[in-house]
Chains A and B, each alone.
Chain A
Amino acid sequence: MILLVQSIALFFLVAGTAFSLIGIFGFLRLPDVYTRLHASGKVSVFGVVFLLIAAILLTPLSVWKGVLLIFFVLLASPSVSHALASAAYRAGIPMARIERDDLKGKLEKSGTEGNKTFS
């Protein structure tokens, strides 16, 4: 039984590290902010959550803390990705190899006219 739990934890450790490595490789190699966001979401969602599942299986004390942290990471990571993509589009950062822009002319800035004080 202990051997089975340790084998499952070992699988989750290796899988989470592989997802993190793939995400960092995509973060280094992709050409654009928006495509790089697609790669760096893997590190947060799959890598850290798989490591936390392994931590729940291996350490005997931390079941509810681990479940709470999994819930928080799954709640926080997509909203951070959304906020970064929205900030990149509103700041006017160009896309690489663009074919069509569906949001062109439909997005106005939320109440910042005459408020650009620092840049």
Chain B
Amino acid sequence: MEKILSLTLWIVLGLHLLMALIVVWRVWRGENSVSRLMGLDLTSTLTLAVLVIISMIQQNSIYIDVAIALAALSYISTVAIAKFISDYRVF
């Protein structure tokens, strides 16, 4: 069971890195600004998932703290850039 779990964790890590690569490619080839911003938000979400998987692989909960900080920062930045796109000002 331990071996199956370890193998599944590595496969899941590889799949999430592949998905992040595909989303970064889509941000590069995007068609308008909101689509690119959505790709940026998806990239930060997948990075959060990768941090959670690394904390499961290494059995160390310090990566969860990094994931909390990354979630807060990506939320603030995405909402600020969306407000800037819609109203041409942030505040």
Q: Chain A residues in contact with chain B, CB under 8 A?
A: 3, 6-7, 9-10, 13-14, 16-17, 20-21, 24, 27-28, 33, 36-37, 40, 43-44, 47-48, 51-52, 54-55, 58-62, 65-66, 68-69, 72-73, 76-77, 79-80, 83-84, 86-88, 90-91, 93, 109-112, 115-119
Contacts and interface: CB of A to CB of B under 8 A. Distances in A.
Interface of B: 1-2, 4-5, 8-9, 12, 15-16, 19, 22-23, 26, 32-35, 37-39, 41-42, 45-46, 48-49, 52-53, 55-56, 59-61, 64-65, 67-68, 71-72, 75, 78-79, 82-83, 85-89
B11 to A, nearest CB: 8
Most chain B CB atoms below 10 A, which of A61, A86, A87, A117: A87
Given A13-B9, A76-B75, A109 B45 contact: no
Contacts of B16: 17, 20
B77 to A, nearest CB: 10
B72 A48 contact: no
Given A36-B38, A40-B41, A48-B49, A65 B5 contact: no
B61 A3 contact: no
